Structure 1
Amino acid sequence: MPSTKLLYLENFSLLECESKVLEILPENEKVTLTLDQTIFYPQGGGQPYDTGIIESANGKFIVEEVRSTDGLVRHIGKLENGNFTKGEEVKCLVDGARRMLHSRIHSAGHLVDWAIEKLGIPWTPDPRGYHYPNGPYVTYNGSLDGLDKEKLKADIEQLCTEAIAKGREVNILFMTKDEMQSICRSIPNNLPEPARVIMFGSDFGVPCGGTHVANLSEIKSVTIRKIKPEGENIRVGYDVL
């Protein structure tokens, strides 16, 4: 079975698409649909999955969970009415409010990355971020030695507030690891090439496969909840309002 094409990788704002059913798997009270392409984000990279609906000519499917396995995106949920047939064309519709919330939280986490770099703090971003509504945080390799945590919280918030007020665009680029060297502070070893990079302006990028806002103004606001050591790392908790 061919891998599912991930349409959200190239377009932040796409909330609807046409797809073809590759597989239908009933299991207990749930059904799993696999499609040839999707706009539904599967859980991963510290971000929750999308939800929404998939419509066929004769049926409606409620997407309650989305997972990715071996290149295939599995849409898990329940058939509300009608039926679905392998090979038929269907329409995918993502819950826009849920997607926007997750995108705001995820983009805010990388905006915190940007602010820390602008402040000259010698921390390296760690990929183990948590971009969920219940207490999001970003993690860094580094030390708090010699730093005033309260001042640092205020400085990060101020830079984030200024960037949001300016309404800087967020863009998608695909580039090689060599091309990332001048704009990405941390480059994981296991990235495919070319890799997807989320650009905050022209001089700061983050390799990332998640969903994001198209403009920083959509984040609205960022507050720093706490900064604390976590083992050998530093955890920065934040919220969007």
Structure 2
Amino acid sequence: MKHAVVTGADRGLGFALTEQLLAAGYTVFAGRYLETWDALEGLRREAGERLVPLALDIGSEESVRLAAQAIAARTGSIDLLVNNAGIAGHQDDNIFGEIDYEAIRRMYDVNALGPLRMAHALQALLLSGGDKLVVNISSEAGQINQTWREGWYGYCMSKAALNIQSNILHNQLRGRGGKVLVIHPGWMKSYMSGKLNEDAAITTEEAAAGILRVVGDYLADEDAAGRPHPAFRDYSGAEMSWT
């Protein structure tokens, strides 16, 4: 049986990924941040012991440490770490008006440092697993030369930071058989900005299905761990530019 860890699994893409990983036979440790959002409990009644919800704030070193301890108490290895949790907001901040620097710091803390905290805390379990794969859910917003936005400072800058972090992490893991995959999930009907975006192009279920197809293809690629850079794909499998 394979084991996966999914952060930000309460709702949206993280919940859809958790549901589909369970259907694929994984045992899933599902990071839960929203105490009032109980969708995981309903899923747990169906999945039984193969779903393990965990209180998890990836912006907190202590929370990550406790979650890692709880995972290690249940298994000696994990195959897949999906760093999905992320936050956005303050898209209209600009240099001609107000900029909420504290909000930008929070986005860095969650979007860039959070996945690093998770990989750091779980590296021993990950390298004991069969697949040894870290999937970082990034965004086209982190492509430096591709951006079209006027604003979105915190989100774009934090995702660019996540991309370079992914590259460094891949370089560290590949000598031990590990690998990193960076995925842009598309424009989803999700709660990324705090409320459901009904105008987006695809559902989180569609994005999750595409992401797991990309993950399967990457795991089947025998040369993936030897790549000098992690692959950067969108949910359909199309290659993305790093710059």
- TM-score, normalised on structure 1? 0.25
Q: Which structure has more strand as a fraction of its residues?
A: 1
Q: Which one has a bigger Cα radius of gyration?
A: 1
- TM-score, normalised on structure 2? 0.24
